[in-house]
Structure 1
Amino acid sequence: MTTAIQTLPTTAIELQPYGINTAGERQRAVVSSAPEPDDLLEASVLADAQVPDGGYGWVVISACALVTWWFVGASYTWGVLQAALVAQGKSSSTLAFVGSLCPACISIFAVPNARLIRVLGARIIAFLGIFLLGLGSILSGFAEESIAGLFLTWGVIGGIGTSLCFMVVSVTPAQYFKAKRGIANGIVYAGGGIGGSVNSFILNALIESVGIAWTFRVLGFMILSTGLPAAYFIKERTVIRPTKFVEWRLFKDLRFAVLFATGAIGTFPLLVPAFFLPLYNNSLGLPSSAGAGLVAAFNFSSAIGRLSCGLACDKLGSVNTLVLSLLLSALSIFVLWPVSSSIGSLIAFVIINGSANGGFFSTMPTVVGNVFGSARVSVAMGMIVSGWVGGYLLGAPIAGYILDASGGESGGIGAYRPAIFYAGTMATAAAVLAAIVRIKVDRKLTKTV
C-alpha cells in the first residue's frame, strides 16, 4: 500500500492531516472504505507521523479537562454523599454499590462507546455524556429516599454519561499529541482530581445548608451549565472509520493481554479510599467537615499525581510510570493506612495514595496510545477498559462487606484493617503484572513507550 496522501487507490485509506494549514483552515481525515487490519496499522503510523503536538490540541485538552472535572469529580466525591446517606440509616455497603455502578459503566459500555465515537464523532458523544451525567444527578435529588431510585438515576443514567465522557477524553488527546502525549493526558485527568477536590467542599457545604436532595440537583445543574459549553470545543483531528467493535487478535500480543489483566485487577482498590475515607474519619471521632477535607485532599493529590505521572510518561516511559504508580499505591495502603490513627498520619496516606491513584488513570491511556498507535487507541482502550468492570463494580462494595463483617463503622478503626489489606493485596498484584509488561514482555518499552 502506497503512503501517498492524496492519490491512494479507492480500496485504501485517504488520510489528510487535521491541523492548521497555511491558510489557517482545518482539514479532516477521510476514509473511503473500511480498512483491513494491515491498512489500519498503516493508517495509525501515518496519523501518528502527522500529529501536531500542539495547536488546536491545547483547546481540546482544556475542554477535555473540564469534562473530566465533572465525571471524575462526581464519582470521587461519592464518599461525601454516601456519608450523608448513611447518616439517614442506609447501608454503607449497598450505597457503595450505587457509587461503584457509575464508574463501572465506563467498563460495561467501553467497547460500544468506542464504536459510537467512530460513528457519531467525539463532540456529539461529549454532549450526550455531559447531558446524561447532569440529568442523572438532578434526578437523584428526587430519588434520594430510594436505593433502587439511586441505582437508576446516579448509577445507570449518570453512569452511562460518565462512560461516554471517559471514552472521549481517553482517545481524543492521542490524535493531537505524541511526544507530549503523557503531559497532555496528565492535564486532562488532573482536571478530574481538581474537580473532586473542589466538589468535596461544595457538596459538604450544600448538604449542611440545603440537604442531600438539593445537593444532587445543584450538582446536576452545575454539570450541565459548564460541561455542555466545554463539549462544543472537543473535536477529532483524524477520522478513521469504520472499524470492528473488538480486535480479538490483540490478545495474541502478550503486551496487550498483560495490560488487560493489570487494569482488570488494578481497578479493585482504586475507589476504596475515596469511598471510605469519610466513614473512617467518623470512626476517628472527627467532624464531617474533616471527612470532606480528606476527600478533597485525596482528589487534589490525585490531580498532582495525574499531572506528574503524565510528565513522567514523557521522560521515564509510560510503562515504567505505570509500574511506579501501582507500586506506590500498594505500599501506601499496606504501610500507612492501617496505622493512621490521627488526622496527621491520615493526611500523609491521603496525599501519597491519592497521587498514585491518579497516576493510574493518566498513565494507562498513554501506555495504550504509545503501544498501539493513535488510530487504534479507541478500539484498544475500549477493550482494556471493558476489563475494569469487575474492579469498578465490586472493588469498593467488597471492601464494604468486609468492613460490615469486621464490626462495621461502629467497630473502630481496627474494623477497617481487613478491608484495607484486601485493597493493598489487589494493588500489589496489579503492580506485579505491570512489572511483567516492563521486564518480560517487551524490553524495548523504554522512554518512548
Structure 2
Amino acid sequence: MTRTQTTTIELEPQTVERTSSLQRDAAFNPSDQDSILQASRVSDSTVPDGGYGWAVVFGCSAMTFWFVGTTYSWGILQASLLQQNLSSASTLSFVGSVTAASISFLAIVNARVIRLLGARTTALLGMTLLALGEILAGFCTRNIGALFFTAGIIMGIGVSLAFMVVSVTPAQYFNKKRGLANGIVYAGGGLGGTIITLVMNSVIEKVGPAWTFRILGLATLGTGLPAAWLIKERSPIRTATFIEWRLFRDFKFVVLFIAGAVATFPLFVPPFFLPLYSNSLGLSSNAGAGLVAGFNFSSAVGRLICGLAADKLGPLNSLFMSLLLSAASMLVIWPVSNSLGPLIVFVVINGAANGGFFATMPTVVGTVFGSARVSVAMGMIVTGWAGGYLMVG
C-alpha cells in the first residue's frame, strides 16, 4: 500500500514533464508506436475529468451548434432555392453534400493543421470561414456556380476545420467521462439543427434565402468566434507523422474504418430530402421544416444518450447500438413512411441513431487509440466517410 501511494504521489507533479519527454521522443521517431501509446497512458491517467475541460466542452458544443446545425438544415434552403428555379434538386443537394464531404476530404490535412496551429487558432479559422461562406452565399442565390464555391467549398473548409477540433480536443480533458463530454459537444449540433431549421424556415418566408444566408453568417460570426476562443489544448502532442499507415495492420482500426465508410452513406439523406419528400406527400413547407427539426432534436437526444452509454456500457457497444438502429429504421420504417405518422416514427428513431454515431465515434477512437493519437486516427477514419457524404448529392 505504501509503495503504491508513493508512486501515485510522485506521478502528479511530473505528468507534464514526462508527457513532454514522450512527445519529443515520438516526434524524433514517428514510427515508434510505443512512445505514442505511453504518452497517451500518462496523459489519460491524470486528466481532470472536468475543470477547464467543461469550458472546452461548452465552446465545442457552441461551435457544433452552428456547423452541424447549418449543415443539417441545408434541406430547408435547398427547397427554397428549388422553388426559385436556381437549379435541380440533385444539383442543389450536391452543393450541400460538398459542404459535408469536406469533413472527409480535408480530415487528414486538418489533423495536421491542428498540430501546427493549435486547437484555438484552428477553431477560430474554421468558424470565420464558415461565417464568410454563408455571408458570401447570400450574394450568390442566382448563380449555382458561385453558390457551389461559397456554400460548398468555403463553408465546407470551415465546417471541416471546426469538426476536427471538436472531435479531438475534449479527449485531452476527459477519460472516464469522455463519452458524456462528446455527447454534450455533439448534442449542441442536434439542438442547433432544431433551432436553426425552425428559425430558418420563418426567415426565408419573410426575407428570402439570400438574406437568410447573410443573417446566418453574421450570427455564426458573432457567437461562434467567442466559443472558439474558449478552446485550449491541455497537453498538445505534435508528432511528425502525417498518416500512420501501420494503423491499417490493426484489426480494430480496419473494422472502425470500414464501419464508418459504410454507415455514412445514408446519414445525410433524411435531413437533406425530408422537406422535398414531405412536399411530395402533399404536406406543407412548415410540416417539412417541423420534420427536419424533429430529426435534429432526436439527434441531439441520441447524441447525449449514446455519450452516456459509451461511459456505462462501453463506446464500441454504444456505436454498435446506434448503427443497428440506423439500419433498422432505413430498411424497415422508411419504405412504409408514406404518411405523416410513420414519417414521424422514422424521424425520431433515425435521428437518434444518426446523432449517436457522430457522438460515439470520437469516444471510440480516443479510447482505443489514445488521446495522443486521436487526431491522426480520427483524421484517417473520417477520410473514409467521403463516399457516403458525396452520394447524398
Asked if 1:80 is matched to 2:82, the reply is no
**In structure 1, which of residues 53, 56, 74 is the aligned counterpart of residue 52 of structure 2?**
56
How far has the Cα of 1:7 moved from its partner?
8.2
Alignment match, 2:275: 278
**In structure 2, which of residues 243, 246, 269 is the aligned counterpart of residue 246 of structure 1?**
243
Partner Cα separation in structure 2 for residue 315 and residue 384 of structure 1: 24
Partner Cα separation in structure 1 for residue 130 and residue 234 of structure 2: 26
Asked if 1:204 is matched to 2:201, the reply is yes
Alignment match, 1:138: 135
* Residue pair 2:12, 2:46 contacting (<8 A) in 1 also: no
Alignment match, 1:446: none
Where 1:249 maps in the other structure, the secondary structure is: helix
Q: Which runs of 4+ in 1 moved over 4 A?
A: 3-8, 28-33
Query: RMSD between aligned alpha carbons?
Result: 1.8
Alignment gaps of 5+ in structure 1:
17-27, 398-449
* Residue pair 1:309, 1:359 contacting (<8 A) in 2 also: yes
Partner Cα separation in structure 2 for residue 138 and residue 357 of structure 1: 29
The aligned runs of 1:16-95 (5 Å cut-off) are 31-32=23-24, 34-36=27-29, 37=32, 38-89=34-85, 90-95=87-92
Asked if 1:362 is matched to 2:359, the reply is yes
Q: 1:64-110 CA deviation, whole Å, 9 max, x = no partner?
A: 00000000001000000001111122211111110000011111110
How far has the Cα of 1:240 moved from its partner?
1.2
Partner Cα separation in structure 2 for residue 198 and residue 15 of structure 1: 45
How far has the Cα of 1:393 moved from its partner?
1.5
Where 1:211 maps in the other structure, the secondary structure is: helix
Asked if 1:160 is matched to 2:164, the reply is no
**In structure 2, which of residues 124, 147, 151 is the aligned counterpart of residue 150 of structure 1?**
147
The aligned runs of 1:106-117 (5 Å cut-off) are 106-117=103-114
How far has the Cα of 1:242 moved from its partner?
3.0
* Residue pair 2:23, 2:36 contacting (<8 A) in 1 also: no
Alignment gaps of 5+ in structure 2:
1-9
Identical-residue share of aligned pairs (%): 63
Q: 1:393-449 CA deviation, whole Å, 9 max, x = no partner?
A: 22x12xxxxxxxxxxxxxxxxxxxxxxxxxxxxxxxxxxxxxxxxxxxxxxxxxxxx
The aligned runs of 1:432-443 (5 Å cut-off) are none
Q: What is the identity, as a one-letter code, of the residue corresponding to 1:334? A: L
Where 2:371 maps in the other structure, the secondary structure is: coil
Change (3 A) 1:114 1:263: same
Partner Cα separation in structure 1 for residue 265 and residue 90 of structure 2: 15
How far has the Cα of 1:261 moved from its partner?
0.8
Alignment match, 1:390: 387
Alignment match, 2:213: 216
* Residue pair 2:40, 2:373 contacting (<8 A) in 1 also: yes
Partner Cα separation in structure 1 for residue 377 and residue 331 of structure 2: 32
Where 1:239 maps in the other structure, the secondary structure is: coil
Change (3 A) 1:4 1:181: closer
Alignment match, 1:237: 234
Where 2:217 maps in the other structure, the secondary structure is: helix
How far has the Cα of 1:174 moved from its partner?
0.3
